[in-house]
Amino acid sequence: MKIGCHLSSSGGYVAMAQTALSIGANVFQFFTRNPRGGAAKPLDKADAAAFRDFAAKEGIGPILAHAPYTLNAASGDARIRDFAESVFTDDLTRLEATPGALYNFHPGSHVGLGAEQGIANICDLLLKVFANVGGAPSTTVLLETMSGKGSEIGRNFEEIRAIIDRVEGAGAPPLGVCLDTCHVWDGGYDIVGDLDGVLAEFDRVVGLKRLKAIHLNDSMNVRAAHKDRHEKIGKGRIGLAAFRRIVNHPALRALPFYLETPCDLQGYKEEIALLKGLAE
Q: What CATH number corresponds to the domain at position 170? A: 3.20.20.150
Number of domains in the chain: 1
Q: How many angstroms separate the CA atoms of 152 and 108, rounded?
A: 6
Q: How many angstroms separate the CA atoms of 83 and 204, rounded?
A: 34
Q: Is the pTM of this model over 0.75?
A: yes
Q: Is the pLDDT of residue 29 over 80?
A: yes
Q: Is the pLDDT of residue 34 over 90?
A: no
pLDDT score for 280: 83
Q: Is the pLDDT of residue 37 over 80?
A: no
Q: Is the pLDDT of residue 38 over 80?
A: no
Percent of the chain with pLDDT over 70: 100
For the chain, give the mean pLDDT. 96
The whole domain housing 109 covers 3-278
pLDDT score for 35: 84
Q: What is the mean pLDDT of residues 232-261?
A: 98
Burial of 217 (0-12, 13-18, 19+ CB in 10 A): buried
Q: Are 208 and 173 in contact (CB under 8 A)?
A: no
Q: Any long-range contacts for 135-139 (C-beta under 8 Å, 24+ apart)?
A: 135/173, 136/173, 137/92, 137/95, 137/96, 137/173, 138/95, 138/96, 138/99, 138/100, 138/101, 139/65, 139/92, 139/95, 139/96, 139/99, 139/100, 139/101, 139/102, 139/103
